[in-house]
Chains A and B, each alone.
Chain A
Amino acid sequence: MTDRDTQQSNINKTVGRLCLMVLGMVGFVIALVPLYDLFCEITGLNGKTGGPYTFDEAKAAPDTSRLIRVNFLTNTNEGMVWKFWPEKGAVRVNPGAANTVSFFVKNTTDKVMVGQAIPSVVPGSAAEFFHKTECFCFEQQVLQPGEEMEMPMRFIVGHELPKNISSINLSYALFDVTDSVKVAQVNPASIAPAAGG
């Protein structure tokens, strides 16, 4: 029955190829997460901003021909009871100039809590030109009961910002991450990386 043997070996080959295809798709799913982040970073999709930006202020060359209005929005995520507000609702800045603004948080509870702010820029196409050299969103805030804190944020709007954009909205959502930080202290191996920025 050589016919049957060749058929069986052909079946085995097909199954082998199909298993490789399944493995390939598993690999694709694993790659999807970094690919998605990369795609968002390149396109500015979802208004994701980059991490800490290095900038030599001595070489700063503000573009005085343009004024960009930057609006600041703050909100707390569901279940987060802290107060969170910007010093100013909006500022007008020149592209290429470094600016500092302040945000405030207050822990209104009687417990030690940890907060994490997540930024988002609208319009999304402005996200890649909105650079932060210093931001409270790069780290988590630990606040004692009733403590209030001023948090500076230093940013530059890039020269390359498209001409049609005259106003940028920067929104921060403040999350309560107390629980996950506690878990991480119990088991340091599972520390989740802090937000990119």
Chain B
Amino acid sequence: MSEVIHADHHDDHHHGPEKGLLRWLYTTNHKDIGTLYLWFSFAMFLIGGVLALVIRAELFQPGLQFVQPEFFNQMTTNHGLIMVFGAIMPAFVGLANWLIPMQVGAPDMALPRMNNLSFWILPFAFGMMISTLFMEGGGPNFGWTFYAPLSTTYAPDSVTYFIFAVHLMGASSIMGSINIIATILNMRAPGMTLMKMPLFVWTWLITAYLLIAVMPVLAGAVTMMLFDIHFDTSFFNAAGGGDPVMFQHIFWFFGHPEVYIMILPAFGIVSHIIPTFARKPLFGYSSMVYAVASIAFLSFIVWAHHMFTVGMPLAGQLFFMYSTMLIAVPTGVKVFNWIATMWRGAMTFETPMLFAIAFVVLFTMGGFSGLMLAITPVDYQYHDTYFVVAHFHYVLVPGALFSIIAAVYFWLPKWTGKMYDESLGKLHFWLSFIGVNITFFPQHFSGLAGMPRRIPDYALQFADFNMLSSIGAFIFGFSQLVFLYILINTIRSGKPAEGRSWEGAKGLEWTLPSPAPYHSFTHPPKVTEAEIQG
């Protein structure tokens, strides 16, 4: 820590953040904006979680208990939209803001003002979207995939608010991505070549390119919806010469890269945590980079595996089946490398490591159910059942979400300068781990037995699995309040943390004191062999 630079402030007249609430409105500091993103996504996570608990409460028993089907549809739709666009994606952007400048040795993001704008758009986007739930006729009720004509001809009047909310989210994501790429490509400390970059930086670089490529496609899809609804065009309306199936093609051309946008940064996070607590360098650094790049490429040519049942020619079905299965190869490389990193390591099991190991195990299970879904002939059986629900929740909850939680525990000492309570952290982990599996594992079985997704009522034979699932959901949901308590408790009264908060931690961010100073690396740091991951 002796090499920490106390910058000479020749062109810098304020030494710390401004005072008061306006600090957060005007800030262009990457750490402040990262914090805003993270708290915003946590708030969205809790809101989306409440909607999930409404769903699970209704499904606790067969029959209609608490809500009407129309309202239930709004719950499933908004749960999906809020979790995908409001919780997971902004959380990763928040982590990128906090970590990328520190990890590449830059003073801040490349475009600090745009950074402020890309965050402050989000509360308006989600305020607009969530407000529709209180409008006459209700909010979006067509599923998070908003297939036309459900989202056009048969949509509630509030759909226009939803469309503009999606436009705003897209603009925010594109600006965030441009900022991240500009930072990574131009502001690395001397000596940090591309193949010496930390993997979190690598995965975000590729993710940002994916975002730039597909967010305009999403914007195009909702714009066409807007025109169909208000300006009498017929992009998705067969009566006017359009085609509803085209909506699905456009949506999933965005949607499949989107699901990798939500998992690639998670790969990066886990690739930092596992070497730290195994006290060994990451196994196969360059193969990790190439694996991420191949997954990103493949994500553009597999979209139609979401729509095998629309009636595709055999050649199309075969192509999308095989290309989908091909993704298992680079993903397998990554899982192998994580396990090989742990092999014969001097492992300890602090909370971030527990979440990271759970990530590897449970994400792999989600990957396997994905392979099952990729098999075209059996997909006809699995399509639109709870098996699909179980699959994507396994990759998104113990996958993406666990990696975010692991990252928060791992870098929290660096952000706050204080250590969280380890035994509370372990309690949070075990409650989450058990809760998640009780919630989603039975859904594999109810799905294979034929229970359709997005229904408020179901046949009697699914009653036991659903009751189990609901119990797990409430355990998981309420255990996140433990997480909130741990965070507040750490910020208020955690024990002071060292600069290198973890014994085995490598990387430029750990050469800074904890908490990281408001302006870090005003002079480029020396990149030494000891801090390089590759």
Report which A residues bind B (CB closer than 8 A).
Answer: 7, 10-11, 14-15, 18-19, 21-22, 25-26, 28-30, 32-33, 36, 40, 43, 45-46, 48, 77, 116, 118, 124-125, 173, 175-177, 180, 183-184, 190, 192-196
Give the nearest-CB partner of A197 in chain B: B241
Picked from B186, B216, B240, B311, the residue with its CB within 8 Å of the CB of A192 is: B240
**Which B residues from 266 to 315 make CB contacts under 8 A with A?**
311-313
Secondary structure call for the A interface: helix
Please tell me if B250 contacts chain A, counting CB pairs below 8 Å: yes
Pick the most buried of A29, A33, A46, A183: most chain B CB atoms within 10 A of its CB.
Answer: A29
CB distance from B214 to the nearest CB of A (A): 8
Query: Given A10-B185, A15-B178, A125-B313, 9 more contacts at CB 8 Å?
Result: A11-B110, A11-B186, A18-B212, A22-B174, A22-B216, A192-B233, A192-B240, A192-B241, A195-B240
Chain B interface category by residue count: 35 or more
Cα distance A79–B178 in the bound complex, in angstroms: 47
B243 touches A46 (CB 8 A): yes
A192 touches B243 (CB 8 A): no
A195-B110 CB under 8 A given contacts A18-B182, A22-B216: no
Picked from B186, B221, B235, the residue with its CB within 8 Å of the CB of A7 is: B186
CB distance from A166 to the nearest CB of B (A): 18
B220 touches A177 (CB 8 A): no
Report which B residues bind A (CB closer than 8 A).
Answer: 110-111, 174, 177-178, 181-182, 185-187, 212-217, 219-221, 224, 231-235, 238-241, 243, 245-246, 249-250, 253, 311-313
A118 touches B212 (CB 8 A): no
A118-B239 CB under 8 A given contacts A22-B216, A32-B250: yes
Residues of chain A within 8 A (CB-CB) of B238 are 77, 118, 173, 175
Pick the most buried of A14, A175, A184: most chain B CB atoms within 10 A of its CB.
Answer: A14
Give the nearest-CB partner of A117 in chain B: B239
A26 touches B216 (CB 8 A): yes
Give the nearest-CB partner of B314 in chain A: A125
Give the nearest-CB partner of A19 in chain B: B178
CB distance from A10 to the nearest CB of B (A): 5
Residues of chain A within 8 A (CB-CB) of B313 are 43, 45, 124-125
Jot down 13 A-B pairs with beta carbons below 8 A, ordered by A: A11-B186, A25-B212, A29-B219, A46-B311, A118-B239, A125-B313, A175-B239, A176-B239, A177-B240, A190-B232, A192-B233, A194-B241, A195-B239
